[in-house]
Structure 1
């Protein structure tokens, strides 16, 4: 998750694991771009949990209040504004297929291009209320979720409404161009991950992932709201900051950390770093790391808030 503007950043994440169903709730303060990885063997959905949430783009597609994102990829990009609220749910693929057969008596009409589903408003409203209620239980009275009969009843109801939303909703089609951009962005992320510590140039990136420069630029603007070099720089600057915050100033130097992340023009880097984070890299290295405020609520929720993570 990369905040794209300067300011006080915090994120609250609630995770709830039931027997088969996993769910999460996110509330993020600043505009951000995030890379979302899906666990193999599970099918997941996502949706805005508040009608006043900032807009969301999923792989370049606009997601409105009342829409459901159907995640069909190992990796996806989300882009949002400030005050962003998202909910997710996932089931093992075979468990979802079984639930579909039991609830609607047939298989889902599977489309390889299905990304966004528009459920009936009444069903979507029911899903949002259930999701919010379980999130509040996890935060306020988590011991209730330890009771097997309560957890089982909530899980069954959530799965039932989830399946009906997917089965009875209308889906939005995607174009060949969108699918091609998805594949390019997956290769782009893989290349950045494999080359974290050396300077990268646009011509080199394009050759490595097999995409024309114009196509890569268009794909990045669609998915990330910025060009590939700006995204690479933003990504690495956040990695530098994280390393500086967790390093011992008696053992490492700013120059070591910065060059280890592929930055060689130290003067330009320092100016850009100060503009984004409001302080010099040396100030970040000298001060103690800010520890996240973590509150664990047994048995099944995790809520974290990280003031001024940027």
Structure 2
């Protein structure tokens, strides 16, 4: 895997000037519409050529400008107390907006709001949908996608949990973990947009069991590196729906659930052989692609019947036992 340079910066908002770069690399014209001090924060995360921006501000504003001269930007309104108008559409929390390169964008936020965007070169986004057989011009025009209520709430909740870790500014990511985080952020938007696409006829699977077996071999070759579903779809040239059907028919569980369980089993193995005095559960979880600690702990306990910390403590005796022979040699040798 190529080295991914990861940087993050957080900028306090104390005036409209601070909001000019509402999206990494943009230069908006911002006008404050309501009286009072404008406060908030901007967080920019860069992983290689991929960037993410999270903005929170306290007052009504009008913004105008080009989102990016060369990048495709996807945006999600996270929260807001009043209706917003953007791209001549009403916007509600959980809506997904598409901004092609060089697009002149304007919006009115009628009160406090928060949002998140991801930006990348168009081919990088196209790779995520390469096997989905979607319209070729999907990301060449501005658009807004409104998901079904229940799905919108779930995707927004998942997204908020991931970006909470980014906003803390404490993530220390290996190249593998950074790649998985980037794929996870893209996938939130990808799954949302796919939910808005018209249904297609199921793709027949003639060799589902073989596909599952090939995927498992691929995962074994990756070692401890977390493998994202978008990586698998790209590697085998299959759509998410085809992959899902193959796993469901072969193992009785979808690929996302299977990949999650495989990562949880890897974490359990690490915890059982780790020294509890120097081991941080959150660090291990992040390295295996779990950026939401609460959700990770819930998944872990549901699968193994104990918390990650309990596994670590249980393994403490085994760890000390394996160290005794060395200690004895030092004491008596």
TM class by shorter chain equals 0.3 to 0.5
Larger radius of gyration: 2
Where relative contact order (Cα < 8 A, 6+ residues apart) is larger, the structure is: 1
